[in-house]
């Protein structure tokens, strides 16, 4: 069947002229960058050995990074961190959204105040929480002042997994507002008369939550959870300042391989590994809302 080519209507011409600049801008940077990253993953690209740059070496970069001493621990820690972040932040976010959907005096102010940490740079969030947890930091200081603890606790001297839990507090401090606000918006989707009907029929608070609220916001919770998983999986800034730039999860090593150890090939291989995990999560998002729907809901009344 021949492809039908028809003249564009004036409306379509204008629309294309308006959309194309942004499209090309984003397209050039992302698609070119992604394909370059993919290409670099298969060639030798050590800045300290300029004569061998660009030599095709197949999967060697992948084999190297997977065999590297840090890789196994990092993957393990990354998954632990991602899992903890997602579960804790989303469940607390649900709680906060339920609380802040209640009507009480001063709710607007509370909503605004809890949003403040979200606006603060993640770098700052990581550093603040490290300074809080120091031996002479504010948690120890106030704890001893109030007599809760007798001896200062060495939070930052604990093992890596404990450190990740502390880093999680910083991540939570930064991300909880966003999650809560999105879930609060989701609560507005529930038809008011449905809740009223349930109340009149004598359903308890827990039952209303379980049978009326939850089914309506289930999809949003799933989306927010996946979004949080992506954010945690690629968390870089918070962990960087929290650890003082010495350790981190997988993104830290992708950056260190490239810009500290000058091996862009390895960095690209790690990026591809990260991208594969992220793509899996994105495809889950697309299963929950298909692309057609994303567009429709942003477009049609």
Place of tokens 């603040």: 128
Among 66, 80, 88, 115, binds another protein (CB under 8 A): 115
Q: Could you say whether residue 194 binds another protein (CB under 8 A)?
A: no
Contact track, another protein, 88-107, x by CB under 8 A: --------x--x--x-x-x-
Instruction: Confirm or reject binding of residue 75 to another protein (CB under 8 A).
Output: no
CA 221 to chain centroid, in Å, comes to 14
Write down the least CB distance from residue 67 to another protein, Å: 20
Instruction: Check residue 157 for interaction with another protein (CB under 8 A).
Output: no
Strand residue runs (E) in the chain = 43-44, 55-56
Nearer to another protein, 63 or 113 (CB): 113
Site string for another protein, 215-254 (x = CB under 8 A): ----xx---------x--xx-xx--xx--xxx----x--x
Per CB under 8 A, the segment of 62-70, 74-82, 110-118, 192-200 that binds another protein is 110-118
Alpha-carbon Rg for the chain, nearest whole angstrom, is 24
Q: Is 83 in the site for another protein (CB under 8 A)?
A: no
3-state secondary structure of 56: strand
Q: Which of 43, 85, 89, 127 binds another protein (CB under 8 A)?
A: 127
Tokens of 84: 């903890």
User: DSSP letters along 89-109, please?
Assistant: HHHHHHHHHHHHHS--TTHHH
66: contact with another protein by CB under 8 A: no
Output the smallest distance, CB 224 to another protein, in A.
10
User: 46: phi > 0 → left, psi -120 to 50 → alpha, else beta; which?
Assistant: beta
Q: Looking at 66, 68, 144, 284, which residue binds another protein (CB under 8 A)? A: 144
Q: Which residue, 33 or 210, is less far from another protein as judged by CB?
A: 33
- Phi and psi angles of residue 175, each rounded to the nearest 5 degrees, phi first: -95, -25
Helices (H) and strands (E) in the chain, counts: 14, 2
Rounded Cα distance, 209 and 199, in Å? 11
For the record, the structure tokens of 201 come out as 């029929």
Residue of the chain from 17, 48, 200, 287 that contacts another protein (CB under 8 A): 17
Rounded to the nearest whole angstrom, what is the least distance from the CB of residue 211 to another protein in the complex? 19
Q: Both tokens of residue 72?
A: 């196994």
């Amino acid at each position: 069947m021949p492809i039908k080519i028809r003249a564009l209507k004036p409306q379509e011409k204008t629309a294309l002229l308006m959309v194309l600049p942004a499209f090309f801008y984003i397209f050039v940077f992302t698609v070119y960058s992604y394909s370059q990253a993919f290409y670099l993953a298969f060639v030798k690209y050590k800045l300290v050995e300029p004569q061998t740059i660009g030599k095709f070496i197949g999967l060697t970069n992948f084999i190297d990074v997977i065999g590297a001493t840090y890789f196994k621990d990092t993957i393990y820690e990354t998954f632990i961190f991602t899992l903890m972040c997602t579960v804790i932040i989303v469940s607390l976010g649900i709680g906060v959204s339920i609380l802040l959907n209640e009507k009480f005096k001063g709710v607007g102010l509370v909503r605004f105040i809890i949003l403040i940490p979200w606006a603060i740079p993640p770098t700052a969030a990581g550093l603040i929480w490290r300074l809080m947890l120091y031996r002479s930091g504010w948690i120890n200081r106030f704890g001893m002042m109030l007599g809760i603890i007798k001896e200062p606790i060495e939070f930052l001297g604990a093992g890596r997994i404990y450190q990740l839990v502390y880093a999680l507090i910083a991540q939570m401090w930064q991300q909880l507002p966003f999650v809560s606000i999105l879930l609060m918006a989701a609560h507005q989707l529930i038809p008011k008369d449905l809740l009223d009907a349930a109340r009149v029929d004598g359903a308890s608070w827990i039952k209303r939550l379980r049978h009326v609220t939850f089914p309506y916001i289930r999809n949003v919770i799933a989306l927010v959870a996946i979004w949080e998983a992506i954010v945690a999986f690629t968390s870089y800034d918070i962990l960087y300042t929290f650890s003082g730039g010495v350790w981190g999860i997988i993104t830290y090593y992708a950056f260190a391989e490239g810009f500290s150890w000058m091996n862009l090939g390895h960095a690209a291989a790690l990026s591809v590994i990260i991208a594969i995990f992220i793509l899996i999560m994105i495809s889950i998002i697309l299963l929950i809302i298909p692309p057609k729907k994303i567009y429709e809901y942003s477009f049609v009344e």
